[in-house]
Amino acid sequence: MEGDIIEIGAFKGGGTVKLAKFAKKYGKKVYVIDIFEPSLDQTISKSGVTAFEVYQAYLGGRSMLEVYQEATRAFDNIITIKEDSMNVRFGQQTRFIFGFIDGCHQQAYIENDFNIIWPNLVSGGVLGCHDYQFDDWPEVTPAVDRLIDEHKSEIAEAHQIVGSYGISSILLIKK
Ligand SMILES: C[S@@+](CC[C@H](N)C(=O)[O-])C[C@H]1O[C@@H](n2cnc3c(N)ncnc32)[C@H](O)[C@@H]1O
Please write the tens of the pLDDT for every residue from 95-107.
999 999 999 999 9
Kindly give the interhelix angle for 64-72 and 51-59, rounded to the nearest 10 degrees.
Answer: 60
**96 C-beta closer than 6 A to ligand 1:** no
Whether pLDDT at 166 is above 90: no
Q: pLDDT (tens digit, 9 = 90+) per residue, 57-74?
A: 999 999 999 999 999 999
- Each as own residue / partner, the long-range contacts of residues 157-165 (CB below 8 Å, 24 or more positions apart, any chain) are 160/132, 160/133, 165/134
Query: How long is the chain?
Result: 175
**3-class secondary structure, 135:** coil
**35 C-beta closer than 6 A to ligand 1:** yes
Query: How far is ligand 1, taken at its centre, from the CA of residue 31, in Å?
Result: 14
Enumerate the domain spans of the chain: 4-174
Identify the residue whose C-alpha is closest to ligand 1 atom 15. 104
Q: Looking at residues 111-133, what average pLDDT do you find?
A: 97
**170 C-beta closer than 6 A to ligand 1:** no
Percent of the chain at pLDDT exceeding 70: 100
Query: How far is ligand 1, taken at its centre, from the CA of residue 95, in Å?
Result: 22
DSSP 47: T
17, 35, 63, 85: which to mutate for ligand 1, most atoms within 8 A of CB? Answer: 35
**104 C-beta closer than 6 A to ligand 1:** yes
Q: Enumerate the H helices of 95-157 as residue ranges.
A: 107-117, 140-150
pTM: 0.98
Identify the residue whose C-alpha is closest to ligand 1 atom 25. 36
CATH superfamily of 4-174: Vaccinia Virus protein VP39 (3.40.50.150)
Whether pLDDT at 34 is above 90: yes
